[in-house]
Amino acid sequence: MSALNTAVQQITSTVARSHALATRWTSARVLRWRWFAIVIIIALVALHQFFLHDILIFFAPTWHTLIEWLVYSIIGIAAAWLALTSLARSLARRERAESELRDAFRELEANHDKLLKLHDFGRRVSDANHEETVLELAAQGAVQITGARASSIVTFDDAGDRLKLDVAWGLSDRYLHALRARVDAGIPAARCRECATLKTKASSDCPLFVGLHDAARADGIGSLVCLPLTREQDRVGIISAYFPSVDGPPEDHIRLLNILGGTIATALDSVRRRARQVGTLHALDRATQSTHALDTLASQVLDIAAAGWDAQSGGIFLYDDATQMWMCRARFNLGDDFTDARFQLGLQFARQARDAGAPIIETNLTRDLQSAVAAPLATDDQTFGAIFLAATRPRSFDENHTELLATMAHQIALAIRNAQLYAQVGQIAMLEERYRLSREIHDGLAQTLGYLNLQAERVEGLIAAKRYDATARELAEMRQSIRAAYVDVREAIDGLRISVADPGNLSARLAEYVDAFAKQSGITARLIAPDDLTIDPETGMQLLRIAQEALTNVRKHSGARNVQVLLDASATEIELAITDDGRGFPDAIPGRAYHSHGLATMRERAQSIGGTFSVATGAGQGTRIAIAIPRRKSVV
């Protein structure tokens, strides 16, 4: 656009100077002839007096009238001739100037029309969201703006060794059919890839004209001019504009084509960059769902962001409010230690972005990294870090990228915050597991070992008293207590194993545990559950723990022969029920017994995931423990 503007300005300036020069020259002649007129009149008067008094005296009086008439006629004719000649020349110069002015204004109007078309073309390609749309507009623009007869766009196939026809505009059906057949037959791309002239006649051996000479003549095509399509400095195709003249288009059309080519290249780069950046957001979304380990997640999202923005360096910096210190959780190409200039640059940008609460962009750094950006990592409640990206190109980031950068940073912030919360939940779960194990060891194994210690002392006394029958009975009881302690230990081990093995797949985990329970306890256990029920890990973990504690109660306290575990899911809730045929509880359960049977813990677990807990029992009637969880809170 700037080149065409310059050309129009030059034309306008030249026309104005020519018109001003013609005007000044004509007025100067008039002013100059004004002084000459005085001299001429005086000279004529002097000549007239000389003629009357010095010349006519030599002629007879009868000739005086004739001579005067003849002299005055000659002088008048000469004066009129000179005046009219001067006026005619002046009018001719004015007519030429006006004609030149009209021609210049017509050219100016045509160039203005081209400028408007270029402006409209630039607006449309800048609004395009897909590469295919840009190429279609490019083919149309080559015809509409430069006056070409037709245009086509060919690109190199994935292997890079053949041409493929992507878009054609203005070609006749006959020529287009012939061109498609030629492309389908296979046109080597090497010559188009290396072509430097980018201009040829229809009669040449150009790959786009070979075999199409007759069709070109029939279509009135005499030559073509090509514009290279590039991607990251590599030629990936060409835009061909067909012209009727064998000598090609005028020079001003060549300039227009070059302007058009620059606009297309910019638009294609913009579309590809936007597509890559939007793809980055989708890739980030997939990455954040694949892992919850903070360091792994930080490295993955940094790599994805850097690839999407074509950055050569980057880092994710997190700020700890408690210690008021920065920590780099992921980085690449920021130097080997924290004193490196690149690392310090990233940390400086991260601090500025966190303080500003908005992306910080620098497009003209004086270092080996020419442009850089840092976007704050913020959730609704706090800003806890920043992502830093830097590139070796001067304008890899600009103000137009602010909104997309902020969106990307917010997405990364949510993922990192989620990973941090998962880590905290893991710590809480680990503490809960320790508490559960300590409680089970205290309630089960510790008491059993204490009881065994007392029995061992009694056995020693019985042996000393030589009461061997009583000793045998005590040893049998000790063996039974040891077996019960072994079962307790196995249950604890199985509980730990299922807690880390995909607790969200609740049906499969329950099937494993119920099967192990039946083998270890000798109680017939049956599971009724859907095969494909999957819930979120936290809910699955709590329901597994409730089932484990309920089955432990069945083994230790119920005296049941059969137990059924029912897992059911409706549109609104998930229900877990454990039913046995044991002795049941009395109508009123003392507080200590309520806690010793783990009922309080089971109720707390159910309530922690938004569910309800109920116990149905009676002396000699068995026990049914039921938990109902709203489905909207538990289903992934």
Spatial CA neighbour of 152 closest among 218, 213, 227, 215: 227
What is the Cα 297 distance to its own chain's centre?
Answer: 19
Strand-pair partners of 168? 152
Instruction: Return the CATH fold of 501-636.
Output: Heat Shock Protein 90 (3.30.565)
How far is the C-alpha of 120 from the C-alpha of 307, rounded, in Å?
33
| Tens-digit pLDDT profile for residues 599-621 | 888 888 888 788 899 999 888 88
Tell me the helices (H) and strands (E) count for the chain, helix number first: 17, 15
At 391, list the tokens. Answer: 């590139």
Q: Quick one: angle between helices 251-290 and 402-440, nearest 10?
A: 10
How far is the C-alpha of 276 from the C-alpha of 158, rounded, in Å?
19
Look up tokens 């920065």; give the residue. 326
| Tens-digit pLDDT profile for residues 176-193 | 898 888 888 888 888 888
pLDDT for res 507:
84
Look up tokens 């990251």; give the residue. 232
Is the separation of the CB atoms in 362 and 405 below 8 Å? no
Is the separation of the CB atoms in 616 and 573 below 8 Å? no
CA distances from 321 to 23, 245, 292, 318, 387 (A): 80, 73, 22, 10, 17
> Bigger pLDDT: 388 or 421?
388
Which amino acid would we find at residue 344? Answer: Q
Look up tokens 């060409």; give the residue. 238
CA distances from 105 to 101, 145, 251 (A): 6, 19, 19
At 339, list the tokens. Answer: 């004193």
The dihedral formed by the CA atoms of 29, 31, 36 and 38, expressed in degrees to the nearest 10: 150
Q: At 327, which helix (H) or strand (E)? A: strand 325-332
How far is the C-alpha of 571 from the C-alpha of 15, rounded, in Å?
83
How far is the C-alpha of 311 from the C-alpha of 205, rounded, in Å?
43
The sheet that has 199-201: what strands, in order across it? Answer: 163-169, 150-156, 234-243, 223-231, 199-201
Give the other-Cβ count within 10 Å of 45's Cβ.
Answer: 10
pLDDT for res 446:
67
* Residues in contact with 35: Cβ distance below 8 Å, sequence separation at least 6, in sequence order: none
At 400, list the tokens. Answer: 């137009």
| Tens-digit pLDDT profile for residues 30-58 | 566 666 667 777 777 777 677 666 776 77
Largest CA-CA distance found in the chain, in angstroms, rounded: 200
pLDDT of 115 strictly over 70: yes
Is the separation of the CB atoms in 171 and 179 below 8 Å? yes
Spatial CA neighbour of 236 closest among 154, 137, 338: 154
pLDDT for res 144:
79
How far is the C-alpha of 95 from the C-alpha of 77, rounded, in Å?
26
CATH node for 129-275 = 3.30.450.40
pLDDT for res 2:
47
Give the other-Cβ count within 10 Å of 196's Cβ.
Answer: 5
Spatial CA neighbour of 257 closest among 223, 206, 231, 233: 223
pLDDT for res 500:
44
pLDDT for res 37:
66
| Tens-digit pLDDT profile for residues 313-328 | 999 999 888 788 898 8
How far is the C-alpha of 609 from the C-alpha of 611, rounded, in Å?
6
Angle at 406 between CA 400 and CA 407, to 5 degrees: 105
* Residues in contact with 265: Cβ distance below 8 Å, sequence separation at least 6, in sequence order: 229, 230
Work out the pLDDT band at 389, boundaries 50, 70, 90: very high
CA distances from 220 to 172, 245, 493 (A): 10, 9, 88
Q: Quick one: angle between helices 294-308 and 251-290, nearest 10?
A: 170
> Bigger pLDDT: 632 or 343?
343
> Bigger pLDDT: 489 or 636?
489
How far is the C-alpha of 53 from the C-alpha of 382, rounded, in Å?
118
> Bigger pLDDT: 332 or 538?
332
pLDDT of 570 strictly over 50: yes
Work out the pLDDT band at 439, boundaries 50, 70, 90: low
Domain ranges within the chain, ordered by starting residue: 2-124, 129-275, 291-500, 501-636
Mean pLDDT of 97-106: 82
Look up tokens 């910019």; give the residue. 266
Spatial CA neighbour of 138 closest among 205, 213, 230: 230
CATH node for 291-500 = 3.30.450.40
> Bigger pLDDT: 434 or 104?
104
pLDDT for res 289:
62
> Bigger pLDDT: 444 or 264?
264
Is the separation of the CB atoms in 623 and 585 below 8 Å? yes
What is the average pLDDT score of the chain? Answer: 77
Work out the pLDDT band at 567, boundaries 50, 70, 90: very high
pLDDT of 114 strictly over 50: yes
> Bigger pLDDT: 425 or 480?
480
- The conformational region for residue 335 under phi > 0 = left, psi -120 to 50 = alpha, else beta, is left
pLDDT for res 564:
95
How far is the C-alpha of 403 from the C-alpha of 467, rounded, in Å?
89
How far is the C-alpha of 249 from the C-alpha of 222, rounded, in Å?
10
Per CATH, 129-275 and 291-500 having the same topology is answered yes
